[in-house]
Amino acid sequence: MGRLLVFVVTLVVCLTPCSLFSASEADKITPLVEEAGQSYKAPPGPRTSSENKEFDIDRLDRIEAAVVHPFKSANVGTEVKGVIDRINFEEGDPVSKGSVVLLISPDRYKLMGKKSEERVKGLELSLKNAEEDLKTKEELLSLNAGTQQDVTKAKTQMDIERHRLLEAREELKLALMDLESCKVTAPFSGYLAVRYKQPEEVVNQYDNVFALVDKSKVFAVANVPESQAPKFVKGARTTFVHGSGKKYEGTVDKVGVLVDPQSKTLKVHILIDNSSGDLQVGTTGSLELVQ
């Protein structure tokens, strides 16, 4: 019996690394070890699915990386070219709709307008003379003192003068529009975000001269997982959580219809009242649906 015990102990010591035998072999050895008065514990098996839960995006109760965008923004350009006379606002200043933000020197356009106006007056006089000439020719024809050819020529000349006058009046309208366009105004109320030009600089037609933003209301824009998109229906109440922890109530205003094939997300716009001006454009935070 003593020799058997020594043999079993020696066998266990030699085969202790589990990698040297299979699970079935370990089952055969375990009873022998227990008989020798020693205990044996099998290595732990793989974790169950309940112990190894995978990240489930469908269970998220918050959408991160929401960015604040202005409710309305515009790069405002010029309709005419020239030299900037003055700019009436600095970056960050509030601007009311219709306010003259930038003025292009109007002298050249004043002269063009005056020239067009004088041309209109001259052609109005020419048309009046042509009409009187036609009337005279028609009277002479009625008295057999003139010819039909004279009447036709007078009528043709009157039509030519009338056409010239119409063209001149259109040119005058354009000249007056160009003169008025020297005043570059704000298309809506907001804040002057960027000044692209400075006084005394030359601008060409359609150059951007300043950027205007309306942040009385803002959008919190986030990419929502496709699986959670049905929760973000238009009108749903949502909370934007600022990085500081302050919360702002809003509603879903726009939901994208195209899913990004890589991120499997679509874009959602949350409309938030920002009349207090607390939320700055570019601020980041997270979104929570109001239960």
Nearest Cα to Cα of residue 201 among 104, 72, 67: 104
Q: Could you give the CA distance from residue 151 to residue 154 in angstroms, rounded to a whole number? A: 5
What's residue 61's pLDDT?
64
Going by the DSSP 8-state scheme, the letter that residue 87 receives in this structure is E
Q: Which two tokens stand for residue 246?
A: 């302050």
Q: Where are the domains of the chain?
A: 2-35, 57-71+213-289, 107-181
Its pTM stands at 0.67
Sheet containing strand 100-104, edge to edge, reads 183-185, 100-104, 82-87, 202-203
Nearest Cα to Cα of residue 273 among 190, 217, 205: 217
Mean pLDDT by groups of 10 residues along the chain of 291 residues: 45 43 45 45 48 43 88 95 96 96 96 97 97 95 92 96 97 96 96 96 96 95 90 92 92 92 93 92 91 69
What's residue 24's pLDDT?
46
pLDDT digits (tens, 9 = 90+) for 195-234: 999 999 999 999 999 999 999 999 999 999 988 888 889 9
Residue in the structure block whose two tokens are 């998109």: 229
Going by the DSSP 8-state scheme, the letter that residue 229 receives in this structure is G
What's residue 191's pLDDT?
95
Q: Could you give the CA distance from residue 21 to residue 33 in angstroms, rounded to a whole number? A: 15
Contact assessment for residue 150 and residue 61, using Cβ atoms and an 8 Å cutoff: no
Domains 57-71+213-289 and 107-181 share a fold: no
Fold exhibited by the domain 57-71+213-289: Elongation Factor Tu (Ef-tu); domain 3 (2.40.30)
What's residue 62's pLDDT?
81
What's residue 243's pLDDT?
87
Nearest Cα to Cα of residue 188 among 71, 69, 67, 68: 71
Q: Could you give the CA distance from residue 182 to residue 100 in angstroms, rounded to a whole number? A: 10
What is each CA distance from 283 to 65, 68, 97, 178, 221, in whole angstroms? 10, 5, 26, 40, 11
Nearest Cα to Cα of residue 269 among 238, 248, 228, 291: 238
CATH class, 107-181 region: mainly alpha
pLDDT digits (tens, 9 = 90+) for 132-171: 999 999 999 999 998 999 999 999 999 999 999 999 999 9
